[in-house]
Amino acid sequence: SRQIHLASRPTGWPTPDNFRVVEVDLGDPGPGEVLLRNTWMSVDPYMRGRMNDAKSYVPPFELGAPLDGGAVGEVVASGDDAVPVGATVLHGLGWREHAVVPARAVRVVDTERVPASAYLGVLGMPGLTAYVGLTRIAQLREGDRVLVSGAAGAVGSSVGQMARMLGASAVVGSAGSAEKVAWLTEELGFDAAVNYKDGPVGRLLAPHGPFDVYFDNVGGDHLEAAIAHLDDFGRIAACGAIAQYNDTEATPGPRNMAMFVTKKLTLRGFIVRDHDDLTAEFHERAGRWVAEGRLVGRETVVDGLDHAVDAFLDLMRGGNTGKMLVRL
């Protein structure tokens, strides 16, 4: 069975040389374990941070060892009656064709009503991130005007759609191409969207503000622009800063921090896994929204483990619309 190992730590933008495909022999699952054949694996921006040897909220990937991350697999051999052969499960050992996992570390998912891949996207970690960021972190209120960056990505596209269902009066997004902007406004119901590559993002957003809530996936110039266009008592949910993940030197912060005082702004960062207590509520509501066709989880699919690294690199460059996934 094949898996992808970290061969060397990237400096700046990763290259294919930083990774290696390795063939391993997994053997049979022991008591309490299951052998999985992975069918889908996720590539996510946070994985870039784990390629660095730096202390963070998740440990770094180890050199010469397989990468890991969200995946969906089918049970092909089982040492636990609760997780039978044939079940489809969500688990944390992606970046490999097969995995032996403790049965208690997998979650059996229902694939009758939604496709298995949805558990890595709109009904999975990215969807929960959108829900937590809007409800708990930004404390979205009826009538709020919401701005979201990275709006055509997995988290951002859920943010925009959910914000509307949670009572926002207007939703504006920024994304990196004309096609993405058209998808947001024509299909997802965003009131407006801008292509940040068309000019300084602050200037592009000016006609659409002011905003009460900014959901930040990007950092950098987007954060500075949002601060400029937030209304008094505006709230920022700091979710990610993908514009900076491949930087080799610290970049200057927003130059308009004094506006936090004059506009009485709030910024709160969060990590989704600290908010597990919202998972059941999220599944209940988001499951219904998806079933009703009001929450759309688009996917960009790359085929084969051999292309998983390309999928990850392409994600960092904006090659995805919606959730970037690898089908194994």
Environment class of residue 114 by beta-carbon count within 10 Å: exposed (0-12), middle (13-18) or buried (19+)? middle
Q: Which of 70-78, 169-177, 256-264, 302-310 is the region at the interface with ligand NDP (rule: CB under 6 A)?
A: 169-177
Task: Name the residue nearer to ligand NDP (CB basis): 34 or 243.
Answer: 243
Q: Does 175 bind ligand NDP (CB under 6 A)?
A: yes
Q: Which two tokens stand for residue 192?
A: 């407006």
Least Å distance, CB 256 to ligand NDP, is 18
Task: Name the residue nearer to ligand NDP (CB basis): 115 or 143.
Answer: 115
Task: Name the residue nearer to ligand NDP (CB basis): 29 or 126.
Answer: 126
Q: Does 45 bind ligand NDP (CB under 6 A)?
A: yes
Task: Name the residue nearer to ligand NDP (CB basis): 18 or 217.
Answer: 217
Task: Name the residue nearer to ligand NDP (CB basis): 84 or 92.
Answer: 92
Environment class of residue 51 by beta-carbon count within 10 Å: exposed (0-12), middle (13-18) or buried (19+)? buried
Q: Which of 97, 211, 320, 326 binds ligand NDP (CB under 6 A)?
A: 320
Q: How far apart are CA 69 and CA 115, in angstroms?
A: 19
Question: Are the CB atoms for 230 and 138 separated by under 8 Å?
Answer: no
Q: Which of 240, 254, 287, 297 binds ligand NDP (CB under 6 A)?
A: 240
How open is the CA angle 132-328-313, to the nearest 5 degrees? 65
* 188 DSSP 8-state letter: S
- Write out the binding residues for ligand NDP, residues 242-281 only, by CB under 6 A: 242-243, 270-272
Q: Which of 14-22, 62-70, 170-178, 203-211 is the region at the interface with ligand NDP (rule: CB under 6 A)?
A: 170-178
Q: Which of 153, 160, 202, 234 binds ligand NDP (CB under 6 A)?
A: 153
Environment class of residue 317 by beta-carbon count within 10 Å: exposed (0-12), middle (13-18) or buried (19+)? exposed
Q: Which of 8-16, 87-95, 146-154, 288-296 is the region at the interface with ligand NDP (rule: CB under 6 A)?
A: 146-154
Amino acid at 262: T
Environment class of residue 206 by beta-carbon count within 10 Å: exposed (0-12), middle (13-18) or buried (19+)? middle
Q: Which two tokens stand for residue 198?
A: 């068309």
Least Å distance, CB 44 to ligand NDP, is 5
Q: Which of 66, 73, 94, 150 binds ligand NDP (CB under 6 A)?
A: 150
| Closest by Cα among 108, 101, 196 to 152 | 196
Q: Which of 114, 231, 318, 327 binds ligand NDP (CB under 6 A)?
A: 318
3-state SS of the chain: helix, strand, coil percent to 5?
Answer: 35, 25, 40
How open is the CA angle 213-283-278, to the nearest 5 degrees? 60
* 93 DSSP 8-state letter: B
- Write out the binding residues for ligand NDP, residues 87-126 only, by CB under 6 A: 126
How open is the CA angle 4-314-311, to the nearest 5 degrees? 35
Q: Does 176 bind ligand NDP (CB under 6 A)?
A: yes
Length of the chain: 328
| Closest by Cα among 45, 99, 48, 49 to 71 | 99
Task: Name the residue nearer to ligand NDP (CB basis): 73 or 156.
Answer: 156
Task: Name the residue nearer to ligand NDP (CB basis): 75 or 154.
Answer: 154
User: By rule CB under 6 A, what count of residues binds ligand NDP?
Assistant: 29
The residues binding ligand NDP (CB under 6 A) are 44-46, 126, 129, 150, 152-156, 175-177, 180, 217-218, 239-240, 242-243, 270-272, 315-316, 318, 320, 324
